Amino acid sequence: MWVQKIGAVCMSLLMLGVQAFPVFAQEATAPETYSDGMFTYAYVDGGVALYSVQNTAMSVKIPDDTDGRKIVEISDGAFYGCSSLESVTIGGNVRSIGKSAFAGCSALKQITIPDNVETIGENAFSGCTSLSTLELPDSLTEIPDGMCYFCALLENINYPASLEKIGAEAFFNCYVLPSPELPEGLKTIGNYAFASCGNITDANLPSTLESLGSAVYFGCTGLTEFTIPARTLDLGSLVFMGCTGITEFQVETGNSVYTASDGIIYKDDGATLLTYPAGRKDESFTIPEGVTTVYDASFFRTESLKNINFPSTLKYVGAGAFEYCSGLTTIVLPEGTEIIYENAFADCTSLSSVQFPDTLKGIGSYAFYACPSLKEVTIPANCKTIGEYAFGYTDGIEKDTNGNSVPVKIEGFKQNMGAVKLSTILLILAGICFLYVIVMFLVKVIRKNQITPEESEKIHESEEK
């Protein structure tokens, strides 16, 4: 249940709150350090690094230097888990902030970062659930992975003009974060970077953007429209999954990979339907002829859709393609369809009828899981692969060791195996008869050309003479 697992992970993270930020462990071999009572410092090239601080501090001002040495770094995890810390001013000589440096400072409301800072480590402010404003230095070229992960109250942040990359999960679960003003020059946005940022209404992607990672806008319910720039040639999987407010997609002219037609994104010259706007209220949709693949999660949670017409060219229905399409009642797949991947129609609670083509070869795990209205299916004879819990199961009351619902059978469900067609049987019999005739003919030829023992003896005697 790959899509349900993603949802379970997200819900778990929401419930964990400040405990959800990554656990930090300092290096096993501690460097040479000294303390001034408040801070502990470690010797590094060019000066010293602030190594740790008393975790009961509420307000901290990091000086420019100590004992004649410049404070040039804040070490990994230096303020990790300082839950009483509310305010920090960083000295003007600091050039880098380490990984998880302020992670878990749940009371931190204000931090001043000097312009000299050039790099910030992964998860630097993750779990700072009280932080509402963050001013980044103009020199910053990369926002690291998980920098503001679970900064639930973050609502004011600048994006430096020199920015080229936003890392994975950089703003994951920043619920009140407004629409970002992303600068020209930005090229990459990592996986889940803005996931669950429900207050974002406009992505404001720059023309320089080349790559959008997987699930970048997962669960961004505030988005209503989305435009893919001409230079964006790499869209990760599930980019818009759970964006239930989007009613239209657009692709800028000149994009060589993606196109938009009627507000829907296609790729592979129209052979792959990539994403349908889940916020559209149409009850019926006809997939255009020429489409061979309905991509993973392409119609995910499009709840208004009651009827879908498939093209004769269809071959593949992707993983989670129609998952949680609770309005669908009937599915008729055309001849030529070969594979239905995992979770393709899972949780389609109104689905009561499914018709499979004879060309179907495989049905993935959980493909029709939790479809309580579907009471009977007939599997084509050519379909040799059926995944785990593909039909006739739904979530139970019991939980497994991971907290996931244990599947239970749907009462009265029937799974019939399709009979072989009469024409196929006749063709097989004709083939057997043909082979029999050929074999008998070869036997006669062999017998006719066989030499008897008497004849063989006469030939041997004539050769001796």
Domain spanning 281-419, CATH architecture: Alpha-Beta Horseshoe (3.80)
Say if CB 241 and CB 300 are below 8 A apart.
yes
**Does the pLDDT value for residue 359 go beyond 60?**
yes
Phi/psi of residue 381, nearest 5 degrees: -60, -30
pLDDT computed for residue 238 by the predictor:
94
Tell me if residue 430 falls in helix, strand or coil: helix
Distance CA 125, CA 396 (A): 39
3-state DSSP helix/strand/coil % of the chain, to nearest 5: 15, 25, 65
The upper half-sphere exposure of residue 230, i.e. CA atoms within 13 Å in the direction of its Cβ, equals 4
R_g over Cα of the chain: 32
Q: Which of 213, 272, 275, 265 is nearest to 244 (CA)?
A: 275
Positive or negative: CA dihedral 217, 222, 224, 230: negative
Comparing 54-58, 119-123, 382-386, 437-441, which segment has the lowest mean pLDDT?
Answer: 437-441
Q: What is the DSSP letter of 447?
A: H
Quick count: other Cβ atoms within 10 Å of Cβ 424?
A: 13
Kindly report the pTM of this predicted structure. Answer: 0.84
pLDDT computed for residue 320 by the predictor:
98
Tell me if residue 454 falls in helix, strand or coil: helix
pLDDT in tens, 84-129: 999 999 999 999 999 999 999 999 999 999 999 999 999 999 999 9
Would you list the DSSP string of 263-274?
TEEEETTTTEEE
Quick count: other Cβ atoms within 10 Å of Cβ 103?
A: 29
Would you list the DSSP string of 356-381?
--TT--EE-TTTTTT-TT--EEEE-T
Q: Which of 377, 409, 378, 379 is nearest to 393 (CA)?
A: 409
Give residues with Cβ within 8 angstroms of 298, minimum separation 6.
273, 274, 275, 276, 318, 321
pLDDT in tens, 291-316: 999 999 999 999 999 999 999 999 99
According to DSSP, the β-strands at 234-235 and 225-228 are unpaired
Structure tokens that stand for 385 in this block: 């692969």
Structure tokens that stand for 266 in this block: 């296609």
Quick count: other Cβ atoms within 10 Å of Cβ 229?
A: 17
Say if CB 17 and CB 40 are below 8 A apart.
no
